[in-house]
Chain A
């Protein structure tokens, strides 16, 4: 950008008329913002349909592409979950399904939901769309790499789905892909299926790395003038920290996948001890299956937070905007995100308490795991304390936020059960675990995604979604999902193991038949309710109420672009200049109940802003 220091106030927002005298937009010393450190970004503007919408370098379009593709895979994951629930609740109706099918569906469902749906959606989708807008950049710093990132993801999805059509079908080794079973006869898809899965994961990691470098450098080096780290919206903090985790955790997945592929293709024995199968001793020998588990969970646990941290960030912003109140304890929130991110690299073996690793690890990992509960709890307190004495708009977005709080607290508490070694022993590998992680990393992030969709849809498309449909969608999803997973914990107490195709007639689980039928019915309803959203989106695209500028009266930069929806380059001729944090809601003395980030201090002289 230019060197002119006088370039002070650029965007006038609705609230910029000052309360007392001082002419609006006047430049005084208190409005001083340091001149630009980095030159303006030089962007490639697409001209043809292909460069504008297909191989597009605009982060916003890439974000939408990620969003759509992730949603598409998510719908496949949802359909698979229906099939599984059909088998579990009404086995007589699922006679077409064999145990092989069931295990393949479990595996693909789990992997799709965690990696190809949630991770891609939060980081690729929301990250791409929101980061440049929220930090006041014109685009991601490496737009070309960003475009390649999406197409790598696309190929990864194609490879993943291709495994449905290869001989032997997709892998049925559980989303944890534990060897030795994952590459041995006796597990469905132990040939091409597992290889394609490994390949797809490797492609995903490669693609993600390209995107991740973009998100990180954009946040670190391409913020606009006045945008200090402590003025970034928590959404950016969450996505940023999650990306750091991903950059450091995915390597373990990559290495694990590579080594497992070699075990399969070349017959190396990284993870393969001496094995006697069907009366024959295999060629393998001397490897360690537990090594894979360590590699997997060194990735797998941070992965949980890769999904959770962006959700934490987004929900904080949504709650704050729709409670018309600053997020409570912003600094605590930032540090909690960072601390949770850091600690998440030291807790991985809590997934392995009963894996046969050295039992002494149990002490260490139980302690670290429960330590993580503290910053997490702080975040929860701060969310509800943000509601406290707020001015809460009970719209659809807020409903999703409330749903998130209930499901997240529920899932977080059951996490304390599972993190605390001894408590985990009877519960691990039972339906308690299934219920726990669906609640905490399935349903809770889903609530955030939905809230975010209702919140930012006007920004992306310029039209509002229907509130009425939105409320129906919410209640079906929330009540339905809660009634799927809350009772499911009790199946775990009975002792029903997870990944069971059929229960037979174990004396103490036959009593659960009724519950399984109920859960399955609820699952069908919840799944079907998602089509309300799809209908809502399609309908609102055409006939939704025009959103206009800043329909929620929010403070953060993404709402302050000269045109809505924002164009390529985001900011027109001049980049915004930031004067305050994004949470100045309901500042006493201010005219409106929000003060946008670009409002200079001279415009709000009479109010008692504490934090800038």
Chain B
């Protein structure tokens, strides 16, 4: 890491150097913006929340005496006379992953101070997120229509409904919050708040394109969590 250079700091070689860098004065993560560091730690904490949910799900699924429903039947979509398993969910996942891509591009254009491109890409990300939430609402209403409830489930163990609605709901809330922030940030980008370093409405911290990257971290995390939820609910 000795060739790494951050303004005002030269990294030292070897493990010993690494330890020294870590423990050195002022900052532990050299050149890392406070907000970014904060988001990383917040996401670590959030990871624990989702882990608790998923571990509880495993335990709940393992200890319930009633049969667990077969996901490829429960989640199948009836298209043109045939049941296609996991169709909707495949589309949802695709949309969400794509939105991660547009988010990454938005960050790039943000740092290039390309206000227009950045703004449009954030907007595209937001729309991707919105589509995801919409499809999830569709999935929920389909299941509810079939009689699945948090407290009961015609296809087997009641915990299926409980965990499904709780965990996807919790994740959906994350996506929705992300979408709201994306819209706000899109507005702020178009309005030039980051170029002009205008102060935040509440925090009175000077605006900076790094904020978009911070939101991007959150967005990628939400996508990543979805992959796990997807695997646990739909593939297991």
Which residues does A use to contact B, with CB under 8 Å? 33-38, 42, 44, 141-142, 144-145, 209, 212-213, 216-217, 220-231, 247-248, 250-252, 254-256, 258-259, 262, 266-270, 283, 285-288, 291, 294-295, 298, 578
- A–B Cβ pairs within 8 angstroms, 18 of them: A35-B8, A38-B27, A42-B206, A141-B38, A142-B34, A144-B204, A217-B34, A217-B41, A221-B26, A221-B28, A221-B37, A226-B25, A227-B26, A228-B25, A255-B52, A269-B151, A269-B158, A295-B56
- Report Cα–Cα, A287/B150, bound state, in Å: 13
- Report Cα–Cα, A110/B25, bound state, in Å: 40
Q: Are A269 and B159 in contact (CB under 8 A)?
A: yes
- Report Cα–Cα, A217/B37, bound state, in Å: 7
Q: Which B residues from 47 to 62 make CB contacts under 8 A with A?
A: 48-49, 51-53, 56, 59-60
Having A37-B27, A222-B34, one finds 11 other A-B pairs with CB under 8 Å, namely: A220-B37, A223-B25, A225-B25, A225-B26, A229-B22, A247-B45, A258-B166, A262-B150, A269-B151, A286-B64, A294-B59
The 6 closest A-B pairs by CB, nearest first: A268-B162, A251-B48, A255-B52, A286-B64, A229-B23, A267-B151
Is there a chain A Cβ closer than 8 Å to B44's Cβ?
yes
**Contact among A251, A267, A287 with B49 in the assembled complex (CB-CB below 8 Å):** A251
Q: Are A141 and B34 in contact (CB under 8 A)?
A: yes
Q: Are A255 and B56 in contact (CB under 8 A)?
A: yes
Number of interface residues of B (CB under 8 A): 50
Q: Given the complex, which residues of B lie within 8 Å of A229, measured CB to CB?
A: 22-24, 28
A223-B26, A229-B28 known; A286+B166 contact, CB < 8 A? no
Q: Which B residues from 7 to 42 make CB contacts under 8 A with A?
A: 7-9, 22-32, 34-35, 37-38, 41-42
Closest Cβ of chain B to A35, distance in Å, is 6
Q: Given the complex, which residues of B lie within 8 Å of A251, measured CB to CB?
A: 45-46, 48-49, 51-52
- Report Cα–Cα, A44/B60, bound state, in Å: 49
Q: Given the complex, which residues of A lie within 8 Å of B28, measured CB to CB?
A: 220-221, 229
Is there a chain A Cβ closer than 8 Å to B202's Cβ?
yes
A-B contact count (CB 8 A): 152
**Contact among B9, B23, B29 with A228 in the assembled complex (CB-CB below 8 Å):** B23
Q: Are B49 and A255 in contact (CB under 8 A)?
A: yes
0 or 1 for each of B149-179: is its CB under 8 Å from A? (1 = yes): 0110000011101110010000000000000
Q: Given the complex, which residues of A lie within 8 Å of B49, measured CB to CB?
A: 251, 254-255
Name A265's closest neighbour in chain B (CB-CB). Answer: B150
Name A33's closest neighbour in chain B (CB-CB). Answer: B25
Q: Are A37 and B9 in contact (CB under 8 A)?
A: yes
- Report Cα–Cα, A231/B59, bound state, in Å: 44
Which residues does B use to contact A, with CB under 8 Å? 6-9, 22-32, 34-35, 37-38, 41-42, 44-46, 48-49, 51-53, 56, 59-60, 63-66, 150-151, 157-159, 161-163, 166, 202-206
**Contact among A38, A142, A224, A262 with B162 in the assembled complex (CB-CB below 8 Å):** A262
- Report Cα–Cα, A285/B157, bound state, in Å: 9
Closest Cβ of chain B to A33, distance in Å, is 8
Closest Cβ of chain B to A97, distance in Å, is 37
**Contact among A33, A209, A230, A287 with B60 in the assembled complex (CB-CB below 8 Å):** A287
Q: Given the complex, which residues of B lie within 8 Å of A144, measured CB to CB?
A: 202-205
Q: Given the complex, which residues of A lie within 8 Å of B6, measured CB to CB?
A: 37
- Report Cα–Cα, A248/B42, bound state, in Å: 10
Closest Cβ of chain B to A216, distance in Å, is 6
Closest Cβ of chain A to B12, distance in Å, is 13
Name A288's closest neighbour in chain B (CB-CB). Answer: B63
Name B151's closest neighbour in chain A (CB-CB). Answer: A267
Residue among B7, B35, B38, B166 with max Cβ neighbours from chain A (10 Å): B38
Q: Given the complex, which residues of A lie within 8 Å of B150, measured CB to CB?
A: 262, 266-268
- Report Cα–Cα, A200/B123, bound state, in Å: 36
- Report Cα–Cα, A145/B205, bound state, in Å: 11
- Report Cα–Cα, A268/B202, bound state, in Å: 39
Closest Cβ of chain A to B6, distance in Å, is 8
- Report Cα–Cα, A37/B6, bound state, in Å: 9
Q: Are A213 and B53 in contact (CB under 8 A)?
A: no
